Structure 1
């Protein structure tokens, strides 16, 4: 009941923005780090102690930080889009489209973590470096749309 009251008040809006921003920063930190970890993991011998350590780090990053942060980002982001902008504005639609792409990348990375855990990765380290560049382009686009609101 308290949450329904809070979500309905204008006083909650700055708190929602803060929570959304914290979740975005956490999600982006993970989505930047995970492809780097996977790239380094690629060079390790399957079954080695180093490989097993990377598996634990990748799984914990994905499950403990990235996925919860993505969920909170979506929940508060959609609420902010509804409450603050009534889902209007071309920049907001473009931003949501880029966030959908970033969420798809998150899913791809989650699948990669599962493949690494099963020792079935078939991608080269260069693949993960290229993926890092792709996610940076998405992040730059999202931030630019939010700050500049060009249309």
Structure 2
């Protein structure tokens, strides 16, 4: 099997990693939005935060790593780094990666009893819009 025959598999693995990352990030955001805002959490809520943080470390974060590794591999192989659509897409992927890092840190602090939830409602809208734009840019390649 040549490398170019392997490309559909590489693309499929990249899309699968994106799906796992997206599901994890959206799920974390919804759970964080459901927790009480601007106040300390109960022990039960801290346990929930600890559980979600463990899921993040075991599923969402590794999926994000795969997204980056496979995405960069595809971009280098296909010579896409000079393409405007990819450069715009990378801005949104960086935003999603940063939001993931912020949420992961918040989940860790909440699990340890030292954090407070703030401003999660708007974050879900930003995350969903970014994923939609990433998908459109990747499939349509409009510019």
Common fold: TM-score over 0.5: yes
Choose which of 116, 141, 144 in structure 1 pairs with 2:136.
144
Task: Name the structure 2 match of 1:134.
Answer: 126
Choose which of 37, 41, 44 in structure 2 pairs with 1:46.
41
Per-residue CA deviations over 1:88-109 (Å, capped at 9, x if unaligned) read: 3100111111111111111111
Q: What does 1:2-151 correspond to in 2, within 5 Å?
A: 9-42=3-36, 46-48=41-43, 50-124=44-118, 127-151=119-143
- Structure 2 spans left out of the alignment, 5+ residues: none
Kept in 2: contact 1:16–1:80 (CA 8 A)? yes
> How many residues get paired?
142
Deviation at 1:45, TM superposition (A): 6.3
TM-score (structure 2 length as normaliser): 0.89
Q: SS of the counterpart of 1:131?
A: helix
Cα RMSD for the two superposed structures: 1.9
Kept in 1: contact 2:92–2:130 (CA 8 A)? yes
Q: In structure 2, what is the Cα distance between the partners aligned to 1:84 and 1:15? A: 14
Kept in 2: contact 1:34–1:61 (CA 8 A)? no
Per-residue CA deviations over 1:64-105 (Å, capped at 9, x if unaligned) read: 111000000100000001112342310011111111111111
Deviation at 1:54, TM superposition (A): 0.7
- Structure 1 spans left out of the alignment, 5+ residues: 1-5
Gap change, CA 1:133 and 1:102, over 3 Å in 2 = same
Deviation at 1:136, TM superposition (A): 1.0
Q: In structure 1, what is the Cα distance between the partners aligned to 2:74 and 2:131? A: 19
